Structure 1
Amino acid sequence: MTDFKTPAQADASDWPGDEAARIAALAEHDLPSLRDCSGLRDITDFAAALCDTPTALVSIVEQVSQTFLARTGFAATETARETSFCAHAMRQSEIMVVPDATRDPRFADNPLVTGEMNLRFYAGAPLIREDGVPLGALCVIDTKPREGLTPLQAQGLRVLAADVMMRLSDNRSTVASRAAISDSELRFRTLADTMPQMVWSTLPDGFHDYYNARWYEFTGVPAGSTDGEAWNGMFHPDDQERAREVWQHSLDTGEPYQIEYRLRRYDGQYRWTLGRALPIRDDSGAIVRWFGTCTDIHEQKQASEEREVIAQELSHRIKNIFAVISGLITFSARGNPAFADVASNLRDRVTALGRAHDFVRPHSAQSRPTASPTSLHGLLEQLFLPYQPQDGARILVEGEDVRIDDRSATPIALLFHELATNATKYGALASINGTVTVAIRSDTDRLVLDWRERGGAPITPPEKTGFGSQLIELSAVRQLGGSVARDWDVDGLRVEVAIPMSALSRS
């Protein structure tokens, strides 16, 4: 048994660390959450049974009192520190045993000994943290003097004390984790509330459980009123079903969510809003949360619509200019019959320019052509339409399709209009059985368009270069930076046009 010390001898120098450090260590434990928990109560029940005593306690010695986190055979939840036996026991490195408190100078006058409790026997195993800071003791108490503990009882009390410390350590980690989570959540909410966008968050199944302050400022609805599925009711009735379908698709696939819809503001006005959301995944790839934003784009949307109206009006006027030019050519040719063929060719070329412009100009949903306005296949099919018979296609477009825009559409239209016109006059399309194939393929950083005529009358190379050939060179070489190679094969003309990929669109 450890040597006793009188109260005068047991001063602060006996502590493994000063009192301030010990109190700070106690603050790291959420003691109220552990008081009377089933795990610690099981320990005191077993300690009392093991040592054959009516009382067992898990005592934490605080600044002015000792708190009993678990107790067996004892009603009070705390007593004064100045009467605490455990305040002495926790300073020891081994179990402190008091066989008869009336004979111990430290405790003979203690109110717990002389008073109603009538404490006589005490045995306490110290509760000491890994860093040496003492917290209290696991003790057993009897109202009758005893010689001490058996070796088995002493061993059992040490094991039970170690179990108590393990539970306290787990609780300390839990408290730290809770504090870290609380701090992280506070920082997120602070950041979210300072953002100009509306911020929201959902559970993995899409249940909305958080909106930042900006959402409630914009919508004017009470906090919590749009949780769950109620968010969709804030949208314009015409947008609700579409928004629900897009959101459900993201939930089903994990793909990012993005949509434009009209959101009702606090004054009842519906304003165009861009909604976006991304999933947050854990280490296994499972979605644990969705975070999204709503951005007011009403002014930008209106400006875009106004620009579209202006662009369409401008395109309409340009198309009218093509029509006026064609009319002027026809009108001029009537007074000069000798120029009829020239006028016809010029009018056809103006018409081809009009088709190219109509293909790449801004369109509304009603005026947009069936083919994609960024499709090379679509441009060629529109361009060749006047040369196709009603009962089948004589000009076939096959191979790869690529993106184009107004940068390349006009020169490509002029180039292939010229080839189609010449084929109709002199080549394969001049014969009822003749056909033309346009094969498209990519070759490293170039796009190769292979024009091949078959089934026409035998041809021979022209003796001199005409305006049509010069137009082809102008379009492919000068405007697009490509090359043109002709092969006057006996079976039909073959023209290979190579265009740099970078010349096909401005992007």
Structure 2
Amino acid sequence: MARYDLAGARDEGALDDLAAFAAELCAVPIAIVSLVEEETQFFVARVGLAADGTPRSQSFCAHAMHGHSVMEVPDATQDARFAANPLVTGAPHIRFYAGAPLVSREGVPLGAVCVIDDQPRAGLTPFQTRGLEILAAAAMSRLEARRAARDKRETAAENRAALADSEGRFRTLANAMPQMVWSTLPDGYHDYYNARWYEFTGAPAGTTDGAGWNDMFHPEDQDRAWKVWRHSLETGELYQIEYRLRHFDGTYRWVLGRALPIRDAEGNITRWFGTCTDIHEQKLAMEEREVISQELSHRIKNIFAVIGGLIQFAARTHPALAPLAADLRARIAALGRAHDFVRPHSNNSRPSAHQDSLRGLLEQLLAPYQSHPGERVTIDGVDIPVDDRAATPLALLFHELATNASKYGALSTNEGHVTIDIHTVGDRARLTWREEKGPALAGSGMPSGFGSQLIELSAVRQLGGTVTRDWRPDGLTIVIEAPLAALSRARRS
């Protein structure tokens, strides 16, 4: 009953016209729109009666509301249910009563639209009965509309309260975070920053709303930051970028900016939430480590050159060792090229090939054996990531194969050619070295020596793989298999 706002309906006269028309339609002095509660009946609208309600025990409508049609009482003094009712024995001296039930949308009987006369009557005409039913339906429709409006207001109020509570919780959480937190509208308009943002930037509240945030970036980072942000707005993809943000002391500090969109049930972006994390100290430390790492790697490369020079010097002193010295210098040079491929580089010194690429490593190792890529050596198949640990055994292994091919195999003739096929089989890499158009091989090929032992050491012991040789008449074929995890630590994780 409370959801229908009955007192408001009565005070506003929301149903007065229906009660007046019921009295006129049925030619009676009294008409009432009555809602029956647990102990009382409440007159929402009335004509010809001063009272605004009665006890439920005296209510005719408490009986009428349980019917499925208009209930009529021709003479209340002759009806056992009402003969002793104070409303019959006293004012307003009810004799005739007719009431059409009021039923809620859930099927709950609530009361009736009734007409009353102080004189007995035979009953209503069919037209009056139908009219009373229509008036009851109209009264119920208005009450339901009031209930819906009240429910809507209450729901809206609850939603506003819930939203305010959620907003308060969010702001408390955002202000408790060590990161700067911000949000934007779907079009990218910045409309919220937490306390950390203003503490970090020193900007007055509101001055960085909208597009004003971009002015906080280092001038060299503004275009780049805008480009990345526009891409995220257009695609809905994660926004992530490192840039320099102006600190309250006037300096610029490196921060990591990240943002993700919030979507509704249809997938439309309703808001972006992002953070800025101060990474200035980590950035400087990383740059310092990179400089130190580059310097150490450069010195290691120089050590390879020094060792090669010492070997050459010793060979001149001891001519008999010249062939051995040449082989040793070549192997050290191969290690130097492998190290140069995987070592840290600056932007200027970095190789053109990816430094985690097996193909790139092989191309660099085998470059001395041909004037341009593919002239004497072709690399086919997939590419496989390699790291610094795998680079050394791979460099020794393929350098040995290329050296032997240049001395005894396909690379020792003008027409000879080497093909390297790279494939993966499950969790293993299969590398096939195939020589063609080299000198004819007899028997099992070259005798086993230090080079063969070096190949076994690199492939089997260091990479945990296997080596299979096939001494074909037209050239040697070697198949090397090794776990992918042995070539790159990233595979292990």
TM-score, scaled relative to structure 2:
0.75
Aligned residue identity for 2:489 = R
For residues 282-361 of structure 1, the aligned pairs below 5 Å read 282-361=264-343
Matched, 1:164 2:146: no
Find the counterpart in structure 2 of residue 246 from structure 1.
228
Correspondence for 2:166? 187
- CA offsets, 1:168-227, max 9 Å, x none? 443344322542454245335424433422222233333333333333333333434333
Q: Which residue of 2 aligns with 1:491?
A: 474
Equivalent residues of 1:394, 1:435 under 8 A apart: yes
Deviations 1:10-67 (A, max 9, x none): xxxxxxxxxxxx8xx56x98x99xx99xxx98x87788778779xxx9999xxxxxxx
SS in 2 for 1:372: coil
Given residue 346 of structure 2, which amino acid in structure 1 is its aligned partner?
A: S
1:398-424 Cα deviation digits (max 9, x unpaired): 110011111211111111011111111
- Gaps spanning 5+ residues in structure 2: where? 26-31, 36-43, 66-86, 92-98, 115-120
Aligned equivalents of 2:291 and 2:447: distance in 1?
A: 48
What displacement does 1:244 show? 1.5
Q: CA deviation at 1:350?
A: 0.7
Letter aligned with residue 158 of structure 2? A
- TM-score normalised by the chain length of structure 1: 0.73
One-letter code aligned to 2:474? D
Task: Tell me, in whole angstroms, the C-alpha distance in 2 between the residues paired with 1:189 and 1:381.
Answer: 61
Number of the residue aligned with 1:433:
415
Does 1:475 find its partner at 2:458?
yes
What residue is the counterpart of 2:76 in the other structure? Answer: none
Q: How does 1:68-79 map to 2 (within 5 A)?
A: none
Three-state SS of the structure 2 residue aligned to 1:263 is strand
Matching residue of 1:176? 155
Q: Is the 8 A contact 1:257 1:278 kept in 2?
A: yes
> Higher mean Cα deviation, 495-504 or 180-189?
180-189
Cα drift, residue 477 of structure 1: 0.4
Alignment partner, residue 503 of structure 1: 486
Cα offset for 1:444? 1.1
Change (3 A) 1:284 1:335: same
Structure 1 residue corresponding to 2:260, chosen from 243, 254, 278: 278
Which residue type is aligned with residue 290 of structure 1? W
C-alpha separation between the residues in 2 aligned to 1:376 and 1:287? 42
Checking the alignment, whether the CA contact within 8 Å between 1:47 and 1:160 is kept in structure 2 is no
The reply on whether 1:408 has 2:408 as its aligned counterpart is no
The C-alpha deviation readout for 1:69-88, integer Å capped at 9, x for no partner, is 9x9xxxxxxxxxx9856999
- What SS does structure 1 have at the residue aligned with 2:262? strand
User: Kindly tell me: are residues 221 and 346 of structure 1, through their superposed partners in 2, closer, same or farther at Cα, counting changes over 3 Å?
Assistant: same
Residue of 393, 400, 420 corresponding to 2:375: 393
Q: Distance in 1 between matches of 2:62 and 2:251?
A: 74
Aligned residue number for residue 95 of structure 2: none
Counterpart CA distance in 1 for 2:312 and 2:458 is: 25
- 2:354 aligned with 1:376: no
One-letter amino acid matched to 1:193: T
State how many pairs are aligned: 441
> Counterpart of 2:414 in structure 1: which amino acid?
I
Paired residue secondary structure (1:301):
helix
Q: For each residue in 1:281-327, what CA deviation from the matched residue of structure 2 results, as whole angstroms up to 9, or x when unmatched? A: 33333333322222222222122112111111111111111111111
Of residues 156, 162, 183 in structure 2, which corresponds to 1:201? 183
d(CA) in 1 for partners of 2:171, 2:352? 45
Task: Return closer, same or farther for 1:177/1:450 CA change in 2, 3 Å cut-off.
Answer: farther
Per the alignment, in what secondary structure is the counterpart of residue 436 of structure 1?
Answer: strand
After superposition, residues 117-266 of structure 1 pair within 5 angstroms as: 151=129, 154-174=132-152, 175-180=154-159, 182-195=161-174, 196=177, 197-266=179-248
Rounded to whole Å, the distance in 2 between the matches of 1:302 and 1:278 is 27
CA distance in 2, matches of 1:264, 1:194: 24
Deviation at 1:232, TM superposition (A): 2.1
Partner of 2:272, secondary structure, is: strand
- Aligned CA RMSD, in angstroms, stands at 4.5
Task: Name 1:114's counterpart in structure 2.
Answer: none
- Cα offset, 1:128, TM superposition: 7.8
- Separation of aligned partners in 1, 2:222 and 2:237: 20
- Counterpart among 443, 447, 461 of residue 429 in structure 2: 447
- Residue identity (%): 54
2:290 partner letter: E
Deviations for 1:103-140, whole angstroms, at most 9, x for unmatched residues?
x99xx9xxxxxxxxxxxxxx999898969898xx9999
| Aligned CA distance change for structure 1 residues 164 and 269 (closer, same or farther; 3 Å) | farther
Match of 2:346 in 1: 364
In structure 1, distance between residues paired with 2:197 and 2:51: 58
Contact 1:456 1:491 in 2 (8 A): yes
